[in-house]
Amino acid sequence: MIFAFVDESGHPHPKDSSTRPVLAAACFDARDLRALNTELFHLKRQLLGKEQFEVEAKANQLLTRSTFRNRPEKREFVEAFFDMCRNFPFKLFAVVMERPLTPPPIDRDILPMPFRYILYRVNRYVELEEPDDLGVVLFDGDGTQFNRLSERASNWLFKSQGGQSLSHLAESPFFVNSEFTPGIQIADMAAGVIRIYQENTLHRHIPSGDPFLSAISRYYKILEQKTVDLPRPVGTGIWYGIYFMSERMHHVLESDIGVEEVDHARPAADSNTESQM
């Protein structure tokens, strides 16, 4: 069985400071979760000490310039964290958004498009990797975010043609506390790296003499190796593991149009080049 842990960095709203909010899903084989829990626990205890070993790995607390200037123990932990990611078996999907110009709809019958894209990819991945099994999706939080995400996800899964087509996902997503869920912490840190990388256009240029952005670029390359492009279930073409969503897609209302028909992706190498989803 595959478990997909989903978290965001930044929030898709015109008043949010993030210009490239990101939603990420880290997918693990259930048999590897115990090893992940153990390894992350030992990293925290070894590098952060007894006083901080229960600290949650969160991008907004660790992926900061202050960490790299003033907190050598936290910087060492971040380095070890991404070394762990390099060596640990999991797959990563991410949706990189443009900040919306107007607030996205909050109707409880509409699941935000980034979540639909993530669920389509997780379902397709499970279909290809474990065709006789189901994937379990776990979101950070209690389900109240995004104007009751739990209700919006359930409505979409059960009422829409697109949601009903996801036959390789368990019937309902779960909502968990990230403090006690290492898989969510992986997704959180991955989303944070991808957001910072894209907001600083590091695919074009890495400023010299900037250890923080240089580290972000290194971590991004590790995460790129964890992504996988998937063949579309119908027709030709691929779904990119790191997907660039246009601003207009924040405002797509629920419909029976397949996700592969309503938008185009931009490859991660250059966010100004149009390509297939």
Which pTM does this prediction carry? Answer: 0.90
Question: In 223-263, which ranges are E strands?
Answer: 230-231, 238-239, 242-245
Q: What is the pLDDT of residue 55?
A: 66
User: Mean per-residue pLDDT for 245-250?
Assistant: 92
Q: What is the pLDDT of residue 269?
A: 46
User: Mean per-residue pLDDT for 142-158?
Assistant: 85
pLDDT category, 274, cuts 50, 70, 90? very low
Token pair for 89: 């078996």
User: Mean per-residue pLDDT for 255-275?
Assistant: 44
Q: What is the pLDDT of residue 177?
A: 82
pLDDT category, 180, cuts 50, 70, 90? confident
% pLDDT > 90, the chain: 57
Kindly tell me if the per-residue pLDDT of 266 is higher than 60: no
Q: What is the pLDDT of residue 142?
A: 86
Determine how β-strand 91-97 pairs with β-strand 242-245.
parallel
More confidently predicted of 54 and 133: 133
Please tell me the chain's helix, strand, coil percentages from 3-state DSSP, rounded to the nearest 5: 45, 15, 40
Kindly tell me if the per-residue pLDDT of 260 is higher than 80: no
User: Mean per-residue pLDDT for 198-224?
Assistant: 94
Residue ranges of domains in the chain, CATH in brackets: 2-261 (3.30.420.10)
User: Mean per-residue pLDDT for 202-228?
Assistant: 94
Q: How far apart are CA 33 and CA 28, in angstroms?
A: 7
Query: Which one-letter DSSP state was computed for residue 107?
Result: -
Kindly tell me if the per-residue pLDDT of 41 is higher than 90: no
pLDDT tens for 98-126 read 999 999 988 877 889 999 999 999 999 99
Q: What is the pLDDT of residue 265?
A: 46
**Which of 28, 31, 12 has the alpha carbon at shortest distance from 20?**
12
Q: What is the pLDDT of residue 51?
A: 54
User: 204-213 in b/e burial notation, b at 16+ Cβ within 10 A?
Assistant: eeeeeeeebb
pLDDT category, 273, cuts 50, 70, 90? very low
More confidently predicted of 171 and 81: 81
Q: How far apart are CA 72 and CA 211, in angstroms?
A: 13
CA dist 251 → 38, 99, 101 (Å): 42, 12, 10
Average pLDDT of the chain is: 86
